[in-house]
Amino acid sequence: MNVLAVTDEAREKHPLEDYLRVDRLPHIWCPGCGLGTILGAFLRGLLKSGLTPDKVAVVSGIGCTGRVAGYIKLDSFHTTHGRAIAFATGLKLAKPELKVVVFSGDGDLAAIGGNHLIHAGRRNIDMTVLCVNNFNYGMTGGQFGPTTPETARSTTSRAGNIENPFNMSALAAASGATYVARWTAAQIHQMEKSIIEALLKKGFSFVEIISPCPTYYGRMNRLPTGLDQMRYYRSNSVVRHGANPNEVGAGTNGQIVTGKFIDIERPYLPGPRDGENGG
Amino acid sequence: MSDREHLEGEHFMSGDEACSEGAISAGCRFFAGYPITPATEIAERMSDRLPEVGGTYVQMEDELGSMAAVLGASWGDAKAMTATSGPGFSLMMENIGLGVMLETPCVVVNVQRAGPSTGLPTMVGQGDMMQARWGSHGCYSIIAISPDSVQEVFDLMIKAFNLAERFRLPVLVMMDGAVGHMYEKVVIPPLDKIHLVTRRRPDVPPGEYWPYMPDEDLIPPMANTGEGYRFHVTGLTHDERGYPAMDPEAQDKLVRRLVEKVERHRDEIIELEEDGTDDAEVVVCAYGITARVATIAVERARREGTRVGLLRLITVWPFPEDKIKSLARQVKAFVVPEINYGQISLEVERSVAGMARLALVPHMGGDVHNPATILEAIRQVIK
């Protein structure tokens, strides 16, 4: 095989280059992590949505997914652990013409930030939350968290997790979200389509994306590479649109039900105003 | 402008109400908070007043979220504030640190009650003065001011927003339960007599803007969200571009600037009130409601023939150590009454550096000092 030396001038521009901080690449994510795939789907979805990118702000919490804000070339905020939704609430209420997107992980959104998640859903704040769920705390080294399936091993549950996990999609739906969908990182096109729908939805939209963490969760649970986890998703995922989110858990010791579960209309905050992005 | 925009004229109101009116007159258009005694009346009035002036009131699920929402709103181009008391102040410390790190202008009011923990919810305390200085983790400088009357609450809210916008950081207004619930006359001056400061904006186009490239005065211009600057800001240690920079050199550069942007402007920030300190042999140093009580003790001591001065700390942080030092060369002793077991007295002691005697007059809270206790301390300290 020939190896071509490609000069900067000859290099074809990546279609998402204008929306990535290329001067910060390579990113810090592990080989086999799902975050690159998900970030790509988000940016493609954003460009297809028709929203004005300069009027989109991305807010992240802390953790591996929290680092997304630092690679996206939009107005982007890397805030405190768990507080991304609360920060985003203030940003959106003060400047309603912005489309505000929270991009964060399951530990950030369901554990330390769980209170803000449920209250943002209750208020039906007009924002989109992308929750990358890898079933553990990746950045700190693979501890179990509120989404870790029962019996799954982690660096703080070596004999198997004894706690019952949260079903993130059910939690968002019960809190009052007007749009709830779940996909795995292996369902790139469905994920992208859902992200577009969520971005254009008025009110609190929530997309849960099950994503591989080969370095910790996968390695400790007999799925040691990103590819193993992606294969697992392919063989165990089913699409069931409109399923009751309460009846569809999302562990890695059973079937993963994916699809668009909730798509309803409900009054939202801040109320509709002229000049809103995409409105 | 609607006539509700700015309530010019004479009013009879509480410290908490004056706090809200001062904020409105300062241009505050966003409040996020969580009800807590004795600061609740600030939230109540803001929920009435902000919709009248085109602003937003949001009641958050806790004080962690309140402080985060205030920062978000400030980045959404609003002058933003919250108000709380001790237990909520503890929770806000997390995102006060983020406010310092992201250099986010905002105002945090703490109507202090007696602690620790739930303490005496309806009763006065001054026990959060050191928490104001050091409460969030890491190394930084902060600005904290302390009013002693309802009129001064109004005036200092304007000063607080101006300082926040000028220096790009959370400014802490350290009220207390007595000042917050006290009713007095307040004169709200015409709007054109109120000097307002707004944050400096970048004068370079997007693409050339680095969010943390400071001007000569160490303060970087702040871009507005949604105007194409596509900036990134992070609570991680960062370089001038706003990018994470995980190395001791970047840490050194950033922390020094965050501290120095306050310390270098001490003369511009610090406001004090002195009464009879010129020829004093004893100086009573106090702040907030305790300064009002101390006035009575000072007057009585003067009638007894003692040359007593009163130094009232309007600015508590950065601490006016130069003033204390120069007084320490002249006086025999300092008397520091405060409604805690000794906090600001430690700073006075540090500044005095053994050049004069020092008497702390602690009071654990629930009510104010008896002036006789302060008078007795004045008598004892010059014996």
Q: Read off φ and ψ for residue B261, nearest 5 degrees.
A: -65, -25
The whole-number average pLDDT for the span A244-255 is 84
pLDDT the model gives residue B352: 98
The whole-number average pLDDT for the span A169-175 is 98
Indicate the residue of A57, A78, A88 with minimum beta-carbon distance to B234: A78
Q: How confident is the model at residue A271 (pLDDT cuts 50, 70, 90)?
A: confident
Asked whether residue A107 is domain-assigned, the answer is yes
Say yes or no: A59 contacts chain B, CB-CB below 8 A: yes
Lowest pLDDT segment from A13-17, A36-40, B92-96, B255-259: A13-17
User: Using the beta-carbon criterion (under 8 Å), do B232 and A80 form an inter-chain contact?
Assistant: no
Residues 82-141 of A with CB under 8 A from B: 82-83, 86-95, 97-98, 115-116, 119
Residue A5 has pLDDT above 70, yes or no: no
pLDDT the model gives residue A274: 47
Sign of CA dihedral A61, A67, A72, A75: positive
**CATH code at B285?**
3.40.50.920
Give the DSSP letter of residue B232: E
Burial of A123 by CB count in 10 Å (0-12 exposed, 13-18 middle, 19+ buried)?
buried
SS3 B24: helix
Residue range of the domain that includes A164: 32-263
Give the residue from B193, B216, B243 where a domain finishes: B193
Closest CA in chain B for residue A89: B69
Same domain, B47 and B182: yes
**CATH code at B181?**
3.40.50.970
Q: How confident is the model at residue A276 (pLDDT cuts 50, 70, 90)?
A: low
Tens-digit pLDDT profile for residues B317-344: 999 999 999 999 999 999 999 999 999 9
> Using an 8 Å Cβ cutoff, are B252 and B346 in contact?
no
Residue B49 has pLDDT above 90, yes or no: yes
How many folded domains does chain A comprise?
1
Same domain, B278 and B373: yes
User: Using the beta-carbon criterion (under 8 Å), do B68 and A73 form an inter-chain contact?
Assistant: no
How many folded domains does chain B comprise?
2
Residues 2-31 of A with CB under 8 A from B: 21, 24
**Which residues of A fall within a CB distance of 8 Å from B80?**
90, 94
% of residues, chain B, pLDDT over 70: 99
Residue range of the domain that includes B337: 273-381
Indicate the residue of A54, A86, A270 with minimum beta-carbon distance to B65: A86
Nearest chain B CA: its distance from A70 CA (Å): 6
Indicate the residue of A57, A88, A93 with minimum beta-carbon distance to B56: A93
Average pLDDT, chain A: 94
User: Using the beta-carbon criterion (under 8 Å), do B76 and A119 form an inter-chain contact?
Assistant: no
Tens-digit pLDDT profile for residues B189-242: 999 999 999 999 999 999 999 999 999 999 999 999 999 999 999 999 999 999
Indicate the residue of A55, A70, A88 with minimum beta-carbon distance to B232: A70
Asked whether residue B44 is domain-assigned, the answer is yes
Residues 6+ apart with CB under 8 A from A205: A127, A128, A129, A177, A178, A179, A180, A197, A198, A199
Indicate the residue of A24, A87, A89 with minimum beta-carbon distance to B58: A89
Say yes or no: B71 contacts chain A, CB-CB below 8 A: yes
Asked whether residue B199 is domain-assigned, the answer is no
**CATH code at A131?**
3.40.50.970
Asked whether residue A269 is domain-assigned, the answer is no
The whole-number average pLDDT for the span B10-29 is 98
Nearest chain A CA: its distance from B45 CA (Å): 19
The whole-number average pLDDT for the span A17-23 is 96
What SS3 string covers chain A? CCCCCCCCCCCCCCCCHHHECHHHCCCCCCCCCCHHHHHHHHHHHHHHHCCCHHHEEEEECCCCHHHHHHHECCEEEECCCCCHHHHHHHHHHHCCCCEEEEEEEHHHHHHHCHHHHHHHHHHCECEEEEEEECCCECCCCCECCCCCCCCCCECCECCCCCCCCCCHHHHHHHHCCCEEEEEECCCHHHHHHHHHHHHHCCCEEEEEEECCCHHHHHHHCCCCCHHHHHHHHHHHEEECCCCCHHHCCCCCCCCEEEEEEEECCCCCECCCCCCCCCC
Say yes or no: B80 contacts chain A, CB-CB below 8 A: yes
Q: How confident is the model at residue A250 (pLDDT cuts 50, 70, 90)?
A: confident
Sign of CA dihedral B265, B268, B271, B277: positive
Give the DSSP letter of residue B111: E
Same domain, B42 and B165: yes
Asked whether residue B245 is domain-assigned, the answer is no
User: Using the beta-carbon criterion (under 8 Å), do A89 and B78 form an inter-chain contact?
Assistant: no
Indicate the residue of B97, B102, B225 with minimum beta-carbon distance to A91: B225
Q: How are beta strands A179-184 and B170-176 bridged, if at all? A: unpaired
pLDDT the model gives residue A277: 55
Asked whether residue B135 is domain-assigned, the answer is yes
Residue A253 has pLDDT above 90, yes or no: no
Indicate the residue of B62, B102, B232 with minimum beta-carbon distance to A115: B62
**Which residues of A fall within a CB distance of 8 Å from B97?**
80
User: Using the beta-carbon criterion (under 8 Å), do B94 and A80 form an inter-chain contact?
Assistant: yes
User: Using the beta-carbon criterion (under 8 Å), do A270 and B227 form an inter-chain contact?
Assistant: no
pLDDT the model gives residue A197: 98
Asked whether residue B87 is domain-assigned, the answer is yes
**Which residues of B fall within a CB distance of 8 Å from A76?**
230-233
User: Using the beta-carbon criterion (under 8 Å), do A70 and B56 form an inter-chain contact?
Assistant: no
Give the residue from B145, B160, B193 where a domain finishes: B193
Residue B142 has pLDDT above 80, yes or no: yes
Residue A273 has pLDDT above 80, yes or no: no
Asked whether residue A105 is domain-assigned, the answer is yes
Question: How far apart are alpha carbons B261 and B167 in whole angstroms?
Answer: 7
Question: Of B7, B27, B43, B18, nearest to B78 (Cα)?
Answer: B27
Same domain, B171 and B43: yes
Indicate the residue of A82, A89, A115 with minimum beta-carbon distance to B72: A89
Residue B73 has pLDDT above 80, yes or no: yes
Asked whether residue B293 is domain-assigned, the answer is yes
Closest CA in chain B for residue A90: B69
Say yes or no: B333 contacts chain A, CB-CB below 8 A: no
Closest CA in chain B for residue A72: B232
Lowest pLDDT segment from A73-82, A119-128, A252-261, B245-254: A252-261
Same domain, B32 and B159: yes
Residue A278 has pLDDT above 50, yes or no: no
**Which residues of B fall within a CB distance of 8 Å from A75?**
225-226, 229-231
ipTM: 0.97
Closest CA in chain A for residue B232: A76
Cα A51 to Cα A98, A188, A257, B75, distances in angstroms: 10, 20, 30, 20
pLDDT the model gives residue B263: 98
Asked whether residue B375 is domain-assigned, the answer is yes
Give the residue from B158, B193, B228 where a domain finishes: B193
The type of residue at B211 is P
User: Using the beta-carbon criterion (under 8 Å), do A78 and B80 form an inter-chain contact?
Assistant: no
User: Using the beta-carbon criterion (under 8 Å), do A94 and B56 form an inter-chain contact?
Assistant: yes
Nearest chain A CA: its distance from B194 CA (Å): 24
Tens-digit pLDDT profile for residues B157-204: 999 999 999 999 999 999 999 999 999 999 999 999 999 999 999 999
Asked whether residue A125 is domain-assigned, the answer is yes
Question: How far apart are alpha carbons B371 and A42 in whole angstroms?
Answer: 66
Tens-digit pLDDT profile for residues A70-96: 999 999 999 999 999 999 999 999 999
pLDDT the model gives residue B4: 79
**Which residues of B fall within a CB distance of 8 Å from A119?**
60-61, 65
